[in-house]
Amino acid sequence: MERPKVISLADIVRQRRGEALRRLRLRAGTAHWFVIYWRFWEDSLDRLADYLKELKELKMPIEDLKIETPANEPIIVSTRDFAAPRALVWKVMTEREHVARWWGTNGQNNVITDFDVRPGGKWRIESHEPDGKIYIFVGEYREVDAPNRFVWTFGMENMFIGKTLLETHTFEEENGVTHYKSISRFDTVEDRDGMIASGMEEGMRHGMMVMDEILGELTRG
């Protein structure tokens, strides 16, 4: 049996180059070959520029979540960039209709019973799992400086009694990209490590991917 012919990458490159040269020779009867060649690459560069412009206008998500756990310090530092202005990122993180969409992990249905974004304001979110379990997250806003920074407490109702985190969230914008940073402070390093082991990163990644979708909708209007 005859073995199938294997086509290498070099063969494909040579084939494409040959096709391009044949097209240039066909057009050479009306202009010098160098002019044709230059026009060929000029057209290609124009198409590339249009494509890059399209990508920029689409504001593709930036999936660069980074979670750090400094040794001997009971904190978690999370950073992530969003391809959207700071005002929009603030909106998505502080308005209940948006928070209800991105909060928690995939498959959860969220009901927000309190969300008062001001110093002393309470927040409360009920996350309903597909299996019927309900996890209730609660806290209070300590500081609000829109759209730069907010500080709140974070706890769970009827769970981890006495264990309340203090979280600081900051937003900085540069060239239309928002640099988000959160610092979660725990009572002990053991509590911090327990949160990491709980799978919190999965929830954060899912939530931020949904935020990207919402930001895209808001950007497109």
Closest Cα partner for 175 from 50, 94, 82, 69?
82
Fold held by 66-220: Alpha-D-Glucose-1,6-Bisphosphate; Chain A, domain 4 (3.30.530)
pLDDT recorded at residue 121: 98
Q: What is the CB neighbour count within 10 angstroms for residue 201?
A: 14
Give pTM, 2 decimals.
0.71
Per-residue pLDDT tens over the stretch 113-171: 999 999 999 999 999 999 999 999 999 999 999 999 999 999 988 876 777 899 999 99
pLDDT of residue 172: 98
Phi-psi region of 91 (alpha: psi -120 to 50; beta: other; left: phi over 0): alpha
Which of 173, 181, 172, 176 has its CA nearest to residue 151?
181
Choose among 129, 159, 166, 121: nearest CA to 113: 121
pLDDT of residue 216: 92
pLDDT at 33: 43
Quickly state the pLDDT bin for 200 (edges 50, 70, 90).
Answer: confident
What pLDDT sits at residue 88?
A: 97
At 1-58, the pLDDT tens digits run 444 454 444 454 455 555 555 655 555 554 444 444 445 445 555 555 554 455 445 4
CA distance from start to end of the chain = 61
Of the two residues 176 and 50, the one the predictor is more confident about is 176
DSSP class of 118: S
- pLDDT digit string (tens) for 126-139? 999 999 999 999 99
Q: What is the pLDDT of residue 51?
A: 46
CA distance 135 to 161: 14
What confidence score (pLDDT) does residue 17 get? 54
Instruction: Return d(Cα 146, Cα 170) in angstroms, integer.
Output: 10
Closest by CA position to 215, among listed 106, 62, 105: 62
The pLDDT assigned to 201 comes to: 87
Q: Which residue has the higher pLDDT, 177 or 22?
A: 177
**Which residue ranges make up each domain of the chain?**
9-57, 66-220
Q: Look at residue 198 in the predicted model and tell me its pLDDT.
A: 83
Q: Summarize pLDDT for 51-87 with one digit per residue, the tens.
A: 445 544 545 566 789 999 999 899 999 999 999 999 9
Whole-angstrom Cα distance, residue 134 to residue 128?
Answer: 5
